[in-house]
Structure 1
Amino acid sequence: MHPLAARINHLDLEIVGWFGRHGITLLRLSIGLIFLWFGVLKFFPGVSTAEGLATRTISVLTFGVVPANVSLPVLAAWECLIGLGLLSGRFLRATLFLLFAQMAGTFLPLLFFPAETFKIFPFVPTLEGQYIIKNFVIISAALVVGSTARGGRLITDRKAARVAEEIQAHRS
């Protein structure tokens, strides 16, 4: 192998190794920061751009029983709890359960309020619709984070992958 190619290959292995060692932790922390940030905003009426849509969705879900002055602080606390759970890395399974339940609710405005979430249903979302649809990425990221809840991790090179396969075959 040419010396320059060998150096580039070594650098690539180092970078990919760093991704493998730190990527899931950074993913967990970034999702946690988003939840904490957006949750805190909901404690201040009129500050969160998602406030109106969120409280109207909860009102529809509860048949108007839960008023906005109750639902908004509850949602804020729920999101902050998810954020703190992800940031701390503690109680990860319970935190992810809360996250997935909250995420299920975030998609309901697409059904309940299509005139507000789509310019042209179902292909051209409004800014609010885009805000909701991006949650597919958060769900996928949470699945990756959840894969570590029982000690899972990324394997970043072929040798480690072979060892993992041998261990798996031995367990079977």
Structure 2
Amino acid sequence: MTNPDIPISRAASRHGPLAIRLSLGIVLFWFGVLKFVPGLSPAESLMIRTVEALTFGVLVGDTARLFVAAVETLIGVALLTGRMPHTALAALALQMAGTFAPLLLFPGEMWRHPFVPSLEGQYIVKNIVLVSAAFALAATVLTRLPEGVPVES
């Protein structure tokens, strides 16, 4: 008797990485583009304060906003096009580290009680899903080897 899960598993293996890459690309591109226009991103103030803190005041105000807008948009474009996947994933890792920074930098705003995030904290914590998706994508991108190169176990 044939296992009915096999076709689903094959389809997921074949199309899952593309779906992850495109969905991450859409999210990063969309949120990045919003940051180019002052006031469109609901997290703008928090993002600017975070970048200012992480860069020790080197990037401030609109410069910080535009920097993050450009980085997120470029990561999104790279993921959507499939170009420079290693660079895109490395940049995404750094971007995600910056995204989680407010949890430590501004704990009074991010947490109502221990393990009870504020609305802003929830906005950040849900990015765990994006990090997990990026790990799954990295597993497929980083294990692809040129033709004829054996995979070590």
Q: Does 1:28 align with 2:25?
A: no
Deviation string 1:98-154 (CA, Å, 9 cap, x unpaired) is 10011111111011111211111x3100121111112222112111111222454xx
Q: Does 1:13 align with 2:6?
A: yes
Q: Match of 2:141, SS?
A: coil
TM-score (norm 2): 0.88
Over the aligned positions, Cα root-mean-square deviation in angstroms equals 2.0
Deviation string 1:52-96 (CA, Å, 9 cap, x unpaired) is 101001111223332211010110010001101111111000011
Instruction: Say how many residue pairs are matched.
Output: 149
- Measure, in 1, the Cα distance between the counterparts of 2:76 and 2:25: 4
Q: Match of 2:140, SS?
A: coil
Residue in 1 that maps onto 2:135: 143
Residue in 1 that maps onto 2:112: 119
Larger radius of gyration: 1
- Measure, in 2, the Cα distance between the counterparts of 1:66 and 1:19: 42
- Aligned positions of 1:86-125 closer than 5 A: 86-120=79-113, 122-125=114-117
Structure 1 counterpart of 2:88, one-letter code = T
Change (3 A) 1:150 1:114: closer
- Measure, in 1, the Cα distance between the counterparts of 2:78 and 2:58: 29
- Measure, in 2, the Cα distance between the counterparts of 1:92 and 1:36: 15
- Measure, in 2, the Cα distance between the counterparts of 1:50 and 1:149: 31
Runs of 4+ deviating beyond 4 Å: none
The structure with more helix, counted as a fraction of residues: 1
Change (3 A) 1:124 1:150: closer
